[in-house]
A and B are shown apart, each in its own frame.
Chain A
Amino acid sequence: MEEVGTRRARLEQTALAPVLKTSRRYYVWVAFLIAVIAWGVYAYSVQLREGLVVTGMRDRISWGLYITTFVFFIGISHAGTLISAILRVTQAKWRTPVTRMAEFITVVALICGAMFVLVDLGRPDRAFNVVLHGRWQSPIIWDLVSITTYLTASIVYLGLPMVPDLALFRDRLVGRGPAWRVWVYRVGAVGWQGGASQKRSLGAAIGVMMILIIPIAVSVHTVVSWIFAMTLRAPWDSTIFGAFFVAGAIYSGIAMLIIVMAVLRKVYHLEEYITEKHFVYLGFMLAAFSLIMMYGNISEYVTAGYKLKEGEEVHLRQLFLNQFAGFFWYYFVGGLVLPGLIILFPWTRNIAGIVVAAGLAVVAMWVERYFIVVAGLRVPLMPYEPSNYAPTWVELSVVAAGFALFALLITIFVKIFPIIAVWEVAEDLELAEASPADGHIALEGAMQPAGGSQ
């Protein structure tokens, strides 16, 4: 077995590499993303000038791509914090190399998601009214409160376990990086020296946060679904919406985590730390949630379709047979069943297969949000012909810019902050060394996040 010292040195080197070296391809990628965002900003400026008339939304289908993408990104945000918190709480030993990325995704996705609410407003200049005149009766205010709480908690939960790594970067980069960067690390490391009492405090803080973050994350997607479920529209008038949206959020979150993990692993050569095992374990979680999603869908559509109340027939017809059939069946077969099967079969259960499954799932969850929003609004309420919705170039551009922003923020984060939790991985190495007979990474000791038994 290799000596711990050299493995640890290599770990630090790998973690520091993105910060120290920047390839030309990186700049090309960033320039591309900025170009997409700039185009989106231009499209939004047109929308600001002309009004929402430049979108495909109208009185009868009054929400479209923006709200779809908002719900999608809020869902993606469950990647991180919830998954990493669940893994921490259950003390899943393999989690250490992936939690940091998951937490990145959460913060970035929340920022992008919140942006789409603003973009969707008819009067963004009056957005501050929700603070001035906010009413607790409105689901939008529930959203505002729970999303800002979640964002704050996620930033704390991202920052806390990063403290020792920022201290490491601070110590290693003195004199090697620009001054602002060292300053960022010094501030972020809040005087971390790695003493036992500091470790105890950190473990305690992480322990509290990881418990706290779970109900917050669940509340977020529940109230997002209540924007729809608090209306009298037949397709949305469902008690399952809250739970179902939370499940969908975690499902898309896991999938997005797998994709980001695969990309960063490739680009920054993290093969030693992010192994096939991590993909397989996350793949199992993905498969489990695809089953929950299927169950939720079947439960929802069978109970509605059996009775065919007013509005349900139109809705189920457009979903299963007509306008939205392509979307729906892609979502159900391509986005739920197929990823599950890919992970089920041993001969496709490898990194490539799992990344494909995750890609299918991410696209499917966006599509699902699209037909929940648009098909839900399309069902006529009065005797009129159902209207139709087609997004315009403005909406497509702004949505593209949103995804570009998501990628850009992750790209920049990766350049500044350690992408893997060096101290946690290093600790695993040391513990593995200390008890080689065990073969597994033991999780006893002072740095165990839960603070050990007291």
Chain B
Amino acid sequence: MSRNSDRQQPPVTRPGPSPSHTVGRRGVMRLLGFGAVALSPLGILPPILRATVGRGPIHSRGEFARAPNGRIRQWVMMIDLRFCDGCQKAQKPPLCTTACLEGHYAPEPMEWIQVFEGDLAGGGSQFIPTPCQHCQNAPCNNVCPVGATFATPEGTILIDQDRCIGCRICMAACPYDRRFFNWGKAPVPPESLLAHYGPEHQVPVKKGTVMKCDFCPDMARAGALPYCAQGCPNHAIYFGDLEEDLAANGKDVVAVSRFLAQNHAYRLNEHLGTKPRVYYIPGHGEAVGRDVFTKGRLPTRWPWIERIKGARTWKR
């Protein structure tokens, strides 16, 4: 390159200090180091952005409920499988699911509490109503990139559908298949659109976000059982508070610790270490006269037919 010859500097032949504007390897490293230090204040950008354009931290709608000893209540659910016959006797789709759907306007095909039929080890089957397990080491909560899924001091795991970005990594992470995605514009009754939305009351549905059972803590604070417990004709579902050690099923009130210990309670996939807040008493509907070899339950029905404009359903 002839152009260069007149500008060329004398060749560097000796090792040692570099000419003034030569950047050596050390120099590059130093530059990189200074660059990294210079960029480090970028870390304070997200809080500033949050303060200016973001919404504040998410709150549940009410004050956390407190037990008489002043400590925050720890919600717990116990499902007595001896009393669950999958609503075979009532000849209806599982009424816990139905009640939940009606209370939350959950769109088809979501079953926030879903009655699975599992095979027993020695033949025959049992029905397992399965809400979100509200794990105390929740895999879904761990992986959420934006904190849309969060744990509350009451021990519930909630989703803020106003923050969820719909990446669905929580659905991959949940080992209980308890998360549901709003794949499209869901069919729901028009009155649901008037509801006041909150993570504890996920109405109305929001397209492109994840939903699941919220444990109905708003109802519990108001002194009512969750929809599913209210809906169960056999009173198989107990809901209560570990802190006060009390739970109710709409008929009886029991001491949680004693009830669990005396009835061989277990939790689903205990070996995964997720520490669910939902306990099961083993059984297969024997207390309500179900024959263990009578299989099948009626398929879940979504009660409303009204559809908002442009809505469409999907299969699971």
Q: What is the interface of chain A, defined by CB distance below 8 A to chain B?
A: 50-55, 57-60, 62-63, 117, 120-124, 126-127, 129-135, 137-141, 144, 168, 171, 193-197, 200-201, 204-205, 207-208, 212, 227-228, 230-233, 377, 380-384, 387, 446, 451, 454
Contacts and interface: CB of A to CB of B under 8 A. Distances in A.
A64 B14 CA distance: 60
A21 to B, nearest CB: 23
B86 to A, nearest CB: 12
Most buried by B among A122, A135, A195, A200: A122
B223 interface: no
Contact of A130 (B25, B114, B146, B314): B146
A196 B18 CA distance: 11
5 contacts: A58-B181, A60-B316, A139-B169, A195-B9, A196-B11
Contacts of A124: 165
Contact of A140 (B11, B50, B169, B183): B169
Contacts of B181: 52, 58-59, 62, 122
Given A129-B165, A131-B46, A135-B144, A58 B28 contact: no
Contact of A129 (B18, B146, B274): B146
B289 interface: no
A351 B142 CA distance: 49
B172 A194 contact: no
Given A122-B209, A138-B145, A230 B173 contact: yes
B40 interface: no
A186 to B, nearest CB: 14
Given A53-B183, A208-B29, A134 B12 contact: no
B215 interface: no
A59 B116 contact: no
A384 B297 CA distance: 13
Nearest to B128: A383
A130 B185 CA distance: 24
B62 interface: no
A194 B32 CA distance: 23
Contacts of B15: 454
A123 B166 contact: yes
Contacts of B53: 132
B142 A200 contact: no
A134 to B, nearest CB: 6
A225 to B, nearest CB: 13
B1 A207 contact: no
B146 A171 contact: no
Interface in B240-296: 272, 274
Interface in B126-175: 128, 130, 139, 142-148, 163-169, 171-175
B12 A130 contact: no
A58 B177 CA distance: 12
Nearest to A144: B145
B30 to A, nearest CB: 10
Contact of A381 (B7, B21, B32, B177): B177
Nearest to A227: B169
Contacts of A55: 183
Contacts of B109: 59
Contacts of B173: 230-232
B171 A59 contact: yes
Contacts of B9: 195-197
A123 B142 CA distance: 20
Contacts of A120: 167-168
Contact of B208 (A122, A134, A171, A201): A122
Nearest to B268: A382
Given A122-B209, A201-B28, 10 more contacts: A59-B316, A60-B177, A130-B145, A133-B46, A134-B146, A171-B1, A208-B29, A232-B175, A232-B274, A446-B11
B119 interface: yes
B8 A196 contact: yes
B49 interface: yes
A200 B28 CA distance: 11
A50 B184 contact: yes
A368 B182 CA distance: 28
Interface in B9-58: 9-12, 15, 18-19, 21-25, 27-29, 32, 45-46, 49-50, 53-54
A217 to B, nearest CB: 17
B92 interface: no
B75 interface: no
Contacts of B272: 232
Contacts of B179: 59
B4 interface: yes
Contacts of A127: 165
Nearest to B180: A59
